Amino acid sequence: MTFFLGLILSSFAWANPDPPVHSNKWTNKYDRHFKKYSKRYFGPLFDWHWFKSQAIAESGLDPKAESHVGARGLMQIMPATFGDISDKIPHYMELDEPRWNIAAGIYYDRLLYRKFPKSTEQERMYLALASYNAGYGRVLKARKRVKNKHSWKDVKEHLPGQTRAYVYRIRKLMGDK
């Protein structure tokens, strides 16, 4: 009986691993960067917490995080992607500097977001986040398999489980279920 109770509790913990982005658990240390670059690339009315939630999902807000494939920093950016971005914006100098990592991540989100102009603002965000995680090409392939190419609900069914869980986790951190 104890084993099954432990199993149930551990699966509940997985389903709800983090408190919402607005809770006191998360540091506000990087908030000024999230606010600044969200405003710069998405406008003053866009909720910057989406990008903080993304950083929580990517790295747990650990600026020294590094994935097994080499993605680094708060936003888990691949060095080659950062190189492409810093070619366009030369003052984004150091991938491991939290400010530039956040700036580059939000800039990249904006590039992806713009690729879905016919979707609603919310659907665009989900598709951009999925592209950030799985790659834009994979999201394009998934969109080709559905009738409503602008619907996250339809497209997500053709994406890897890891990507669906990633977008779900960010939505949950935002309180958007």
How far apart CA 80 and CA 95 sit, in angstroms, is: 10
φ, ψ of residue 168 to 5 degrees: the values are -60, -45
Dihedral angle sign, alpha carbons of residues 105, 20, 134, 45: negative
- 64 DSSP 8-state letter: T
**How many angstroms separate the CA atoms of 49 and 174, rounded?**
7
Yes or no: say if 65 and 76 are a contact pair by the CB < 8 Å rule.
yes
Q: What is the reported pLDDT for 131?
A: 98
- Full set of structural domains in the chain with CATH: 2-173 (1.10.530.10)
Residues recognised as catalytic: 58
- The SS3 assignment for 145 reads coil
pLDDT 10s per residue in the chain (177 long)?
A: 444 444 444 444 444 567 888 888 899 999 999 999 999 999 999 999 999 999 999 999 999 999 999 999 999 999 999 999 999 999 999 999 999 999 999 999 999 999 999 999 999 999 999 999 999 999 999 999 999 999 999 999 999 999 999 999 999 999 986
Distance CA(61)–CA(54), nearest Å, equals 9
Handedness of CA 158, 177, 55, 107 (dihedral sign): positive
Residue 33, Cβ density class (10 Å: 0-12 exposed, 13-18 middle, ≥19 buried) = buried
